[in-house]
Amino acid sequence: MNYLTRSFYARAAVEVARDLLGKHLVHRVDGVERVGRIVEVEAYLGERDRASHAFRGMTPRTRVMFGPPGHAYVYFIYGMHHCMNVVCAPDGEAAAVLLRALEPVSGVDGRTSGPALLCRALGIDKSLSGHDLLSPRLHLREPDEPRSFRVARRRRIGVDYAGSWARRLLRFYISGNPYVSKR
């Protein structure tokens, strides 16, 4: 398997976010791989980023965001949805990349255009928070056949409360891909 390495994740969130596009997210459930191609992400830059869960420092919920890189940060929102982030940056820095949308590749049922929908379709829940993404159960890997694409960059969605941080161009997606979430 071409799993992404720890050094892939141990970089700045913006670099990791751009480089995650086109990679495969894999969740093995009951021996079956659910695979989706990452087509949309958002970078969160840690304690200085007013939209980041780490903005107010380390809490039991956000501890995983502070490292080491290459782990899943899964949280529960609105009392009904799970969302998955990929922890990145050097150990001790609380950066992460939210996975916003996937293009189904295999074993995926349901919609995947939106962070909660992709978690539901792949069977990802809070029990996977802190999970090492270099393991067979839940991991990211290079696709067998990489495709070329153009990357678009826009404002993040749903973080208007973050002031000027809401206007930063920290959302990346594959331009023209039909699985990118809608505003």
| Distance of alpha carbon 130 from alpha carbon 87, whole angstroms | 9
Distance of CA 159 to CAs 2, 57, 66, Å?
34, 18, 21
Choose among 41, 48, 46, 55: nearest CA to 83.
41
| Distance of alpha carbon 163 from alpha carbon 166, whole angstroms | 6
pLDDT band of 37, cuts 50, 70, 90: very high
Domains in the chain: boundaries:
6-174
Tell me how many degrees the CA angle 118-178-146 measures, rounded to the nearest 5.
80
Is the CB of residue 43 less than 8 Å from the CB of residue 118? Answer: no
Each residue's pLDDT tens digit, 117-168: 999 999 999 999 999 999 999 999 999 988 899 999 999 998 999 999 999 9
115 contacts: CB under 8 Å, gap ≥ 6: 81, 83, 84, 98, 99, 100, 101, 181
Q: Is 3.50.30.10 the CATH number for 6-174?
A: no
pLDDT score of 19: 98
pLDDT band of 183, cuts 50, 70, 90: low
> Is residue 78 predicted with pLDDT exceeding 80?
no
What is the rounded average pLDDT for all residues in the chain? 94
pLDDT band of 79, cuts 50, 70, 90: low
pLDDT score of 54: 85
Percent of the chain with pLDDT strictly greater than 90: 81
